[in-house]
């Protein structure tokens, strides 16, 4: 059985000695936020964090890695454009995977062919969503890179989250599906700063996710430099890491296991708010939320207040887009509420993309009680999704992003 699996997992190896593997990896959205590093080189966090992995049918990165003895140098193309392979974080990931692969080979455990680890690689990666729009593209990007390299070079999965973490902290959580925690760890070398699954994607099937895209523009302050300034200047960040997060992690795991939506939603909103409070406590302050984000926050609170319970929760990362968690039963009405208070362009592209949302009627009483002025075109579109699985290998060679010449196919450029 083991030998059969090994054979199936072998990357394709054609006559020219080109080995090719393609994989996909998901985006994750934190409900307990990671903000601040204790070691910037190894990317070790100041606090633990916890996220929900989103379904790849709606949001994913696809990466093809090819290696060949004929390649002259390592090269990378991101969303159709060649980028600098000497990016230090990319180099950390490549070096770490090659190191683990050699180690395995020396112990006789490897499944990949003996010489490939010394060959140069070509990497081609595309996202099916806008990069740097606050949708955590670095998380799915580095998770996908590391996972694909591991398939090519035969590296065991337990080691991968430590490698992906060195590409981008939040990337370590995208190596698992469902509900995932990243434990901060205590060791100086970071060996115990790893991601682990709390529950799988099928544990809470009623949980649904909406991404309210208010702006697809590039964010102003990147998370890496933003959190650096926060660590340097915010006293609130230290209090959060020492006092708040340890108990919130325990509580979050408990409420997920109990599928207690009101408690999950309240804790998610409070943690998002505390993260943005730290951004304001940073000097000079960082503003990720805009007017539209503030309106969405008010709408969610007014909606919950109308029902006297938390039916919908928001969370915001380093950008103005809102991510909404809710239960399937409340989804149609809440989407209708969003449509009413943020009327979309009439003839524009579809407003709700992704998983189908049934239509619903709104009572006059609910609209009156929410009592907000509608903001036409305030939200560009909604992506409707749910929790999903971790990285996957793409078996069909037609889906490789690199051609037989080891260069990006046209489809990977125009993506």
DSSP 3-state of 373:
coil
Which is closer to ligand DP6, CB of 13 or CB of 224? 224
If one asks whether residue 271 binds ligand DP6 (CB under 6 A), the answer comes out as no
Output the smallest distance, CB 34 to ligand DP6, in A.
Answer: 3
> Cβ closer to ligand DP6: 67 or 286?
286
| CB neighbours of residue 229 within 10 Å | 16
Pairing of strands 352-354, 381-386: parallel
**DSSP string spanning 291-347?**
HHHHHHHHHHHHHHHHHTS--EEEE--SSS-EEEEEEGGGHHHHHHHHHHHSPPPSS
Minimum Å distance from CB 362 to ligand DP6?
33
Cα distance between residue 189 and residue 362, in whole Å: 55
Q: Looking at 49, 92, 193, 274, which residue binds ligand DP6 (CB under 6 A)?
A: 49
**Quick check: 91 binds ligand DP6 (CB under 6 A)?**
no
Give the nearest distance from C-beta 50 to ligand DP6 in angstroms.
8
Residue 180 Cβ, how far from ligand DP6 at the closest point, in Å?
Answer: 11
The correct pick among 34, 153, 176, 204 for binding ligand DP6 (CB under 6 A) is 34
Site for ligand DP6 in 136-175 (CB under 6 A): 136, 138, 168-170
Question: Cβ of residue 281: shortest distance to ligand DP6, in angstroms?
Answer: 15
DSSP class of residue 96 equals: H
Q: Looking at beta carbons only, is 49 or 159 nearer to ligand DP6?
A: 49
Residue of 20, 27, 43, 94 that binds ligand DP6 (CB under 6 A): 43
33 part of the interface to ligand DP6, by CB under 6 A: yes
Residue 234 interacting with ligand DP6 (CB under 6 A)? no
How many residues lie near ligand DP6 (CB under 6 A)? 14
Going by their DSSP bridges, the two strands 60-68 and 120-127 should be labelled as antiparallel
Q: What is the largest CA-CA distance in the chain?
A: 71
Site string for ligand DP6, 198-227 (x = CB under 6 A): -------------------------xx---
**Residue 68 CA, distance from chain mean position:** 30
Nearest approach in angstroms of CB 155 to ligand DP6 is 21
Check residue 317 for interaction with ligand DP6 (CB under 6 A).
Answer: yes
252 to each of 57, 181, 186, 194, 200, how far by Cα in Å? 26, 10, 21, 18, 15
- Residue 49 or 304: the one with the smaller Cβ distance to ligand DP6 is 49
Extract the tokens encoding 19.
């080995």
Shortest spacing between CB 236 and ligand DP6, in angstroms: 15
Q: Which is nearer to ligand DP6, 117 or 297 (CB)?
A: 297
Catalogue the long-range contacts made by 231-238 (C-beta closer than 8 Å, 24 or more residues apart): 231/36, 231/37, 231/46, 233/281, 233/282, 233/283, 234/278, 234/281, 234/282, 234/283, 235/281, 236/274, 236/277, 236/278, 236/281, 237/35, 237/36, 237/46, 237/278, 237/281, 237/282
**Is 178 in contact with 52 (CB distance < 8 Å)?**
yes
Token pair 């054979």 is at which residue?
A: 7
Q: How far is the CB of 227 from ligand DP6 (least distance, A)?
A: 6
Residues that bind ligand DP6 (CB under 6 A): 30, 33-34, 43, 49, 136, 138, 168-170, 223-224, 317-318
């Amino acid at each position: 059985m083991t030998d059969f699996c090994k054979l199936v997992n072998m990357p394709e190896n054609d006559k020219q000695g080109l080995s090719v593997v393609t994989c996909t990896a998901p985006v994750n959205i934190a409900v307990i936020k990671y903000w601040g590093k204790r070691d910037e080189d190894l990317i070790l966090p100041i606090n633990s964090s916890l996220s929900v992995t989103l379904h790849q049918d709606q949001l994913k990165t696809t990466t093809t890695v090819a290696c060949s003895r004929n390649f002259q140098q390592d090269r990378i193309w991101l969303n159709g454009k060649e980028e600098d392979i000497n990016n230090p974080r990319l180099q950390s990931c490549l070096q770490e995977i090659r190191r683990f692969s050699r180690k395995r080979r020396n112990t006789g455990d490897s499944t990949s062919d003996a010489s490939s680890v010394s060959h140069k690689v070509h990497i081609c990666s595309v996202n099916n969503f806008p990069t740097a729009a606050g949708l955590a593209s670095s998380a799915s990007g580095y998770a996908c890179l590391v996972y694909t390299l591991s398939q090519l070079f035969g590296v065991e999965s337990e080691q991968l989250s430590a490698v992906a973490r060195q590409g981008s902290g939040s990337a370590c959580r995208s190596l698992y599906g469902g509900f995932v925690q990243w434990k901060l760890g205590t060791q100086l070398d970071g060996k115990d700063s790893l991601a682990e699954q709390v529950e799988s994607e099928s544990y809470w099937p009623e949980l649904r996710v909406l991404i309210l895209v208010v702006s697809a523009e590039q964010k102003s302050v990147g998370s890496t430099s933003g959190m650096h300034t926060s660590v340097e200047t915010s006293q609130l960040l230290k209090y959060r890491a020492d006092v708040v997060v340890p108990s919130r992690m325990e509580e979050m795991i408990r409420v997920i296991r109990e599928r207690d939506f009101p408690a999950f939603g309240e804790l998610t909103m409070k943690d998002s708010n505390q993260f943005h409070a730290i951004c304001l406590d940073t000097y000079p302050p960082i503003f990720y939320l805009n007017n539209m984000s503030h309106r969405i926050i008010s709408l969610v609170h007014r909606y919950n207040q109308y029902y006297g319970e938390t039916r919908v929760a928001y969370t915001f990362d380093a950008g103005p887009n809102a991510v909404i968690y809710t239960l399937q039963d409340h989804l149609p009405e809440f989407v209708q509420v969003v449509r009413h208070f943020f009327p979309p362009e009439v003839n524009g592209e579809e407003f709700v993309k992704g998983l189908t949302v049934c239509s619903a009627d709104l009572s006059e009483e609910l609209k009156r009680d929410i009592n907000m002025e509608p903001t036409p075109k305030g939200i560009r579109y909604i992506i409707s999704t749910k929790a999903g699985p971790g990285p996957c290998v793409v078996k069909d060679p037609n889906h490789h992003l690199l051609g037989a010449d080891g260069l990006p196919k046209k489809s990977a450029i125009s993506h």
